[in-house]
Amino acid sequence: MVRVLALLLALLAAPAFAVGYTSHPGYPAFEAKMIREHGFKAAELRSLLGQAERKDSILEAIARPAEKRLSWGEYRELFITKARIDGGVAFWRENKGALADAAKRFGVDPEVVVAIIGVETRYGGNMGSYRVIDALATLSFDYPPRSAFFGGELEQFLVMAREQGFDALQLKGSYAGAMGMGQFIPSSFRAYAVDFDGDGRADIWNSRRDAIGSVANYFNRHGWAAGAHVVDRASTVGKVAVGSMNPGLEPNTRVGDLQALGLSPGVVMPQDVIVLPLMLQTDAGPEYWLGRHNFYVITRYNRSPLYAMAVHQLSQEILAAFRQP
């Protein structure tokens, strides 16, 4: 029996069982591009992609993201919890220096950086268990609706691993190839990740200082205005023009024109400020909100109004709890 088990284990461990992507019909074009544009060697690419595995659970997950399944009320319950608020206060206390340095250098409020890391990975507690190469290869080669996007991310990933001296077969991330405490996809890593602890590379998995600096830099580069309003509650004044609610992610409506849509701002705002009118569903009925420029900036991280609302509200809860003696 022991001998049979040992044989089984040896068979399971044998590389002959790895699926690999080098025989996929889409592989030759990818290989040619990596050689032509980035100077990779064919043998090196075949070794890497030959060890990448198709994961059906990734194909299932990509088809039903939380932002599309849940109402605002349900989404809010997932992220605005006592555990996540307490976790944010603890993370802030433990990383006070790094958060203060990032706020100073990048002009981004610390509570927003903390909330992003909290929503993305529970402060680094859940950074994803897929090998990034499996996630990106599966989505590049076996998910036609987004193969162009994920093919680009696979390309960026291999370049990134080479640049930073990471082992491309070891790095872990989400089912969509998002990495580290702030869940950067490879193109975002290359554009925005920073080495904020000065050890020579941006390690957003293991260095909290690097993760904090990288999220703050991302917000800085997308135009975060420190201390400015993010989103304010609106009240209804008559019948709401439902067809004009949630018109995208960018503010598009003058405050002066809100009344014609059946809304009135919950705070004093000049008539010519441009806002994003939002209607978000909860069990108790719809909530109405007015997104500002900073709300739009949060959606540059994840293009969903529910996500931006959750990050903002979590940031405010953490800030309030952090300030309590």
The smaller minimum CB distance to Ca ion, of residues 27 and 196, is found at 196
CA angle 238, 244, 247 (to 5 degrees): 145
Question: Least distance in Å: CB of 204 to Ca ion?
Answer: 9
Minimum Å distance from CB 318 to Ca ion?
A: 25
Give the 3-state secondary structure of residue 199: coil
By the rule CB under 5 A, 210 interacts with Ca ion: yes
Beta strand ranges found along 133-251 (DSSP E): 172-173, 231-236
DSSP, collapsed to helix, strand or coil, labels residue 288 as strand
Q: Please choose, from the candidates 108, 313, 86, the residue with its C-alpha nearest in 3D space to the C-alpha of residue 213.
A: 108
- Catalytic annotation on 120? yes
101 is a site residue for Ca ion (CB under 5 A): no
Beta partners for residue 184, in sequence order: 179
Residue 206 CB, shortest distance to Ca ion, in Å, is: 9
Q: Does 155 bind Ca ion (CB under 5 A)?
A: no
Q: Which residues pair with 285 in a beta bridge?
A: 282
Q: Which residues pair with 281 in a beta bridge?
A: 286
If the CB atoms of residues 143 and 166 are measured against Ca ion, the closer one turns out to be 166
| Binding residue count for Ca ion, defined by CB under 5 A | 6
Decide if residue 31 touches Ca ion (CB under 5 A).
no
Q: How far apart are CA 180 and CA 123, in angstroms?
A: 10
- Does 142 sit near Ca ion (CB under 5 A)? no
Q: Is 195 among the residues that bind Ca ion (CB under 5 A)? A: yes
Does residue 199 belong to the site contacting Ca ion (CB under 5 A)? Answer: yes
Question: Least Å distance between CB 194 and Ca ion?
Answer: 8
Contact 229, 294 (CB under 8 A): yes
- The catalytic residues are 120
Where do contacts with Ca ion occur on this chain (CB under 5 A)?
195, 197, 199, 203, 207, 210
